[in-house]
Structure 1
């Protein structure tokens, strides 16, 4: 009887392990909603991500929970709005973080994806950009629950040895490290965060990477200087090429059918008018108003593609379900069988049913705050607060100096402000987002936050904010 019981428990454990997928989370940097072929781009070649979309599900309403990198990454990693952790903008130096009322790093003891996956029997890895605090003397990345940590941005913009093409070659390096980690994981399920450096500025593709796009030069392919779109397209295509290499490696290792993959971006595309944007400012937000830093759709709606053969429907374009970065942690825990701490208050919701084919409305609204200046094109300068609930999206300043209401399904570009026609909707949503904003940590707000300014005389002051806050990034 004891032998039978032992065998039963062993088989049950083996079956349970077999049901746990390997999980890869690929996060691009500053890639816009409209930068991939599968999202309608007809200039940039992305055959491998397009194939991923055909083999899985493409979500058209996938949001991040901040319009810049550090807070967006925090939301994916913790399942919580980043303001809970005083992560309001990108992490910079300690002095710059302090001036903006920010923490200097995400505290390692906060429940996160790596530690929770590890508790469920996974071996864990982080490879690539981190930007959750190690630039300002924070804890090492492995302190967050990772068994393996690969090359990251802490190695410098030009990488080990000062290679000027390091960013251009970085995705290849990250994929090499990823494949090595996957192979060494053996039969144990793994959780891998592969967070790329491109297409964030400053882009400097190699001559070989540029060749397919020489026709984009204003003076023709023999013109000596590369054009902005040529540089950007070459960088995105190289990103796609090495992601394709990752997929091929998974297949060769016999792990492709047992692996759940999410591909997304940390925020919308950079604004071409930003001084340090380099050539990354020509990325596409698709049909949406807004770019990086903005709470209009283009700043926070990003690509979202999920593949898991036999589990996630293939060839599906899901345009009804609204998903967000804060949903990633609870969904991971459900799929992997990880227990969430009872005292870890989630801002997202568990959406595994949506991944596996269900199409349903969200049960919780999404909310955003941006308390700093929005540089660049005035058309994209959004109010400070935003809330999305059902088909409605409300943007407003806390003092109600701007109140904008959009039917986000009918008005993708957010041009037709319906606030005066639906006062009852404005009242409901404004009460929700205002109450939420009052729970956020207090801190400085730029004088120009929430204002649509052009830099012309009479516009709100910007000099004070420029001295006080971190440089645009």
Structure 2
């Protein structure tokens, strides 16, 4: 995106804020030099292969590609889970799925005792802001944003509300209370999230800040501002990816006559919004003292008019097998980019194997907080600085929507245990078989035995998410 285009979008974004009675501050922040600002940007259902930096050929993502050129690209980084809520729980609490309180979708809130990144960073002198899809507690629950360490919040707290791009109501922290904010003109939610994030960034403060910007796209509903859709329409108003299979209105997600063009447009919209954040950092002279991370919450989806043929058309999962709700890497491996201009070598790539529960440990180290045993994470600051990096013994996931599925990665080995496969352990060598196409369990009984022990060890019983009963 060009500088002029970014400025044009910034102007467009500033208009809807008047609907919320919220005016943009013109004061400039002066961050504390000894502690970096930390920004984590999360896309919703973006595939591993949806960015140019990860091989995408049909969808334009110039700002994220530039972020990769200016920073570090992780090739083997994983989400917290294969669906939204537990993935975000792992991100915020630093707990993997065997230990996390929230292990599946639904409106189950975090508990008072579940400490998240924002709460810990406040003890290190950070001001905190969260904008977008929360999904870890609605108003009146102990997981509500105003009770979880956020000084500023504007967004959607309920999962289903976040399915729709023009919600009737959003939520905001005012005077430490979480209050509803009407959206009478039906402004697009992600436009509002971005504008509030930009405003938070430029508020005058001597404190460093932690900002979490969580979009609701390219998750269905596949709708967006007309300029977003126009990016993949030809001069006659037809999709450049024709033929398209329309998604009819009247179903859960709103109708979309051009699902492929709309999905591509929403991926590019995420890229546009990230570009505005990065441009704001440059304008304010903060890029050298701000670390920016970008990821997706899980793999690409098959919802709202998007189908498996569309995933294959765009190669949204890249070289990986599977999509959202799969325990294969297409469901849980994410594009992960980190930019820190003063510290990270440009255009660097790492195959360090990490996951969302590492982000908390990393943020705590960046903030100068002592190492804690309260998370399952391992800080990847050494990787960013090209120093000796401690490694995980293993990474672990579990998933409940299809019975009870588990996965573990240990070094180059990956084990998958699916209810649909009778609970039989499948074993893959990720170094030689990134597509998880050849199950080598029979040829490696010792490895399978070791993986079975890990699957038992990593899972701690949950009263909220019980195991499926055997029939």
Among candidates 375, 381, 392, match of residue 352 of structure 1: 381
1:350–1:207 CA distance, 2 compared to 1 (3 A)? closer
Q: CA deviation at 1:444?
A: 3.9
CA distance in 1, matches of 2:460, 2:321: 27
1:406 aligns with 2:437: no
Q: CA deviation at 1:363?
A: 3.1
CA distance in 2, matches of 1:135, 1:417: 46
What is the SS of the residue equivalent to 1:174? helix
Contact 2:222 2:263 in 1 (8 A): yes
TM-score normalised to structure 2 length: 0.79
Q: Can you give the 5+ residue segments of structure 2 that lack an aligned partner in the other structure?
A: 1-30, 170-181, 234-238, 245-255
1:263 aligns with 2:294: yes
Report the number of matched residues: 402
CA distance in 1, matches of 2:297, 2:140: 20
What is the SS of the residue equivalent to 1:373? coil
Range moving further from structure 2, 157-166 or 406-415: 157-166
TM-score normalised to structure 1 length: 0.79
1:34 aligns with 2:66: no
What are the Cα deviations for residues 306-337 of structure 1, in whole angstroms up to 9, with x where unaligned?
0001211210121x210110101111111111
CA distance in 2, matches of 1:253, 1:290: 41
Q: CA deviation at 1:289?
A: 0.8
Match of 2:213 in 1: 194
Q: CA deviation at 1:128?
A: 0.5
CA distance in 1, matches of 2:36, 2:329: 32
What are the Cα deviations for residues 412-460 of structure 1, in whole angstroms up to 9, with x where unaligned?
1111111111111111111111222255557444589xxxxxxxxxxx9
Match of 1:203 in 2: 222
CA distance in 1, matches of 2:100, 2:427: 29
Q: CA deviation at 1:260?
A: 0.3
CA distance in 1, matches of 2:300, 2:121: 31
Match of 1:299 in 2: 331
What are the Cα deviations for residues 36-72 of structure 1, in whole angstroms up to 9, with x where unaligned?
1111101111101110010000101010121111111
Counterparts of 1:235-314 in structure 2, within 5 Å, are 235-271=266-302, 276-279=303-306, 282-283=310-311, 284-314=316-346
1:58 aligns with 2:73: yes
Match of 1:19 in 2: 34
CA distance in 1, matches of 2:387, 2:318: 26
CA distance in 2, matches of 1:373, 1:40: 31
CA distance in 1, matches of 2:203, 2:390: 40
Among candidates 213, 216, 236, match of residue 240 of structure 2: 216
CA distance in 2, matches of 1:363, 1:85: 17
1:394–1:226 CA distance, 2 compared to 1 (3 A)? same
Q: CA deviation at 1:231?
A: 0.6
What is the SS of the residue equivalent to 1:191? strand
CA distance in 1, matches of 2:183, 2:258: 25
CA distance in 1, matches of 2:457, 2:100: 18
Counterparts of 1:129-144 in structure 2, within 5 Å, are 129-134=133-138, 137=141, 139-144=143-148
1:175–1:408 CA distance, 2 compared to 1 (3 A)? same
1:328 aligns with 2:349: no
Q: CA deviation at 1:346?
A: 1.9
From the two aligned structures, give the one with the greater helix fraction: 1
Q: Can you give the 5+ residue segments of structure 1 that lack an aligned partner in the other structure?
A: 1-15, 93-103, 375-382, 449-459, 461-473
What are the Cα deviations for residues 11-44 of structure 1, in whole angstroms up to 9, with x where unaligned?
xxxxx94221001000111011011111110111
